[in-house]
Amino acid sequence: MSRALQASPVAPGIPGGYTSKHGAARAGDRGECSGELFVDDTCIECDTCRELAPDVFGSLESGQSFVQRQPWTASSWRRALHAVVSCPTSSIGAERSAKEAARDLPVHLEGEVYRCGYSSEASYGAQSYFLLRKGGNLLIDSPRFAAPLIRRIEELGGVRSMFLTHRDDVADHARFRERFGCERIIHRDDAVIEAEVLLDGDRAPGPGLRAIHLPGHTRGSCALLVDDKYLFTGDHLWAWRVAWRWGAAFPGTRGPSRRSPCASCSTTASSGFSPDTGAACTFPRPACGRRWKSWMRSPGRFPERRARRRGPAAARE
């Protein structure tokens, strides 16, 4: 165990076992690890910080994030500061500058895939992705239109297309269109914007791209399969309080889609990214779909949701 972790103060009975010195103005009685970094009670449970810096941020039983361990190295601080600038509600504070870290985004994940950060409250904190492609770069869902992000995207070659998985996550699409002239792609059943390309059913909106229509969360919800390898699921895979589920029915929709987008993958590996939860993982073929389901239902993925199902005792495990 590292000396930094040994030095962390512990409070029995609190998930993560940490105390806070920040008080109500910052984290209140949230069981937060005291130090330069904190999360206040305006957190909207979007998971952005936990995906950008999972070693620093954890989740309370409420679903809100908290600092489970203060950053202890330069790299852990860098990741934590990515979360500071990406939080859609400015609920994370740090007693040091995030100016340099803000210039890192989007951050590389795998292959041609980058995570944009800079989640927008208008999209309920959904995350977005940037793909570096030879035929023109692609944004999947809209991040916040933030100056450091825009400058970095320009350095990477701009944006040719923006694929919008569903109507909830369009955020600053118009500003990206104005700045980069990118075509916006959305299913016609979710066309709440004047998009340049309207999808109808499954379609290939560009080379190596396959849009998979998955009505349920909204009528026009779609996943995007890229190069038969990367699967961006939108809200088709998401966490609904106590468990991960395949889609969800909202008023006015036809009910959850029974289609598994994983069945569309035919290569030896498939990486999945869910813009709304930020969750990312990679599974080999065959049986990608079955492994997706198993991973999403694993108790360790969201222990606070397991605790709700099993009662207060589970929170102390």
**pLDDT value, residue 47:** 86
Q: What is the pLDDT of residues 98-139, one digit of tens each?
A: 999 999 999 998 889 999 999 999 988 888 999 999 999 999
CA atoms within 13 A of residue 253's CA, in its CB half-sphere = 20
How confident is residue 61, by pLDDT bands cut at 50, 70 and 90?
confident
Helices (H), 53-112: 74-86, 99-102
Asked if 69 and 3 count as a contact pair (C-beta separation under 8 A), the reply is: no
Distance of alpha carbon 137 from alpha carbon 134, whole angstroms: 7
Average pLDDT, the chain: 75
- Name the least confident of 235-249, 277-291, 303-317: 303-317
Confidence of residue 232 (pLDDT cuts 50, 70, 90): confident
DSSP structural state of residue 105: P
Residues 310 and 302 sit within 8 Å (Cβ to Cβ): no
Specify which of 182-191, 259-268, 308-317 reaches the highest per-range mean pLDDT: 182-191
Q: Quick count: other Cβ atoms within 10 Å of Cβ 193?
A: 15
Q: Which range among 44-53, 61-70, 71-80 has the greatest average pLDDT?
A: 71-80
Percentage of the residues of the chain whose pLDDT score is greater than 70: 64
Which is more confident, 292 or 50?
50
Q: Are 97 and 121 in contact (CB under 8 A)?
A: no
pLDDT of residue 68: 94
Question: What's the rounded mean pLDDT across residues 214-239?
Answer: 80
The model carries a pTM of 0.74
In this structure, of 114-118, 167-171, 261-265, the range with the lowest mean pLDDT score is 261-265
pLDDT band at 273 (very low <50, low <70, confident <90, very high): low
49 pLDDT higher than 70: yes
Specify the higher pLDDT residue, 6 or 255.
255
Q: According to the per-residue pLDDT averaged within each range, which of 5-14, 30-39, 241-250, 261-270 is highest?
A: 30-39
pLDDT at residue number 43:
94
Average confidence (pLDDT) over 224-239? 78
Helix (H) or strand (E) holding 284: strand 280-284
User: Strand, helix or coil at 178?
Assistant: helix
pLDDT number for residue 42: 94
CA–CA dist 317, 313 (Å, integer): 7
**pLDDT (tens digit, 9 = 90+) per residue, 17-28?**
222 333 334 544
